Amino acid sequence: MNYQKLFAMQKGLDQHIESQHQLENEDLFDRKTLALLVELGELANETRCFKFWSLKQPSERKVILEEYVDGIHFILSLGLECGFETEKDYKANIHKAESVNDQFLLIYELISKFRAGKSLQEYKILFQAYLHLGELLGFHSEETEQAYLDKNEVNYQRQQEGY
């Protein structure tokens, strides 16, 4: 995954949104953190991994991938808020849950830890844990990156249309 390319694209989108909504001087860290938590919940809802009471199948793979990259947008945006976009390597040793359900729960915990500490190491762990979730969902790095590029375009369009 080309992190520098993704950070550059996210920076452009963030600047566009912040300018359009007059938010250049706002601290958006907590709002973006909450947005990430909400997006993670939306992703879990589409996978239906926790819905033991339901027989309904998960959403289509395309829908799940789109929800997944929404989370990548906010993880990148949080990294920008903290000035982590110049790092060369975002790898970190992480605990990899064996089930999708456990990985969702772990990511919720990691988001809370990152919010409290805002350290580079916590960020890397969160990012890698989220990427592992993508692997558990069957997504490959290349298709995740392409889906991010596609959704970034959609997000710009939405801003032009007064989303």
Question: Over the stretch 6-19, which tens digit does the pLDDT of each residue have?
Answer: 999 999 999 999 99
Would you state the pLDDT for residue 163?
65
Average pLDDT for runs of 10 along the chain of length 163: 93 92 94 98 98 97 97 98 93 91 98 98 97 97 94 81 70
CA dihedral (136, 138, 141, 146) in degrees, to 10, reads: -130
User: Which pair of tokens denotes residue 112?
Assistant: 């809370």
Classified by CATH at the fold level, domain 3-160 comes out as all-alpha NTP pyrophosphatase fold (1.10.4010)
Would you state the pLDDT for residue 95?
86
Please tell me the distance from the alpha carbon of residue 78 to that of residue 82, in angstroms, as a whole number: 6
Would you state the pLDDT for residue 99?
95
| DSSP state letters, the chain | --HHHHHHHHHHHHHHHHHHTT-TTS--HHHHHHHHHHHHHHHHHHHTTT-TT--PPPPPHHHHHHHHHHHHHHHHHHHHHTT-TT-S---------SSHHHHHHHHHHHHHHHHHH--HHHHHHHHHHHHHHHHHTT--HHHHHHHHHHHHHHHHHHHHTT-
User: Which pair of tokens denotes residue 36?
Assistant: 């990430």
pTM of whole model > 0.75? yes
Would you state the pLDDT for residue 3?
93
Would you state the pLDDT for residue 103?
98
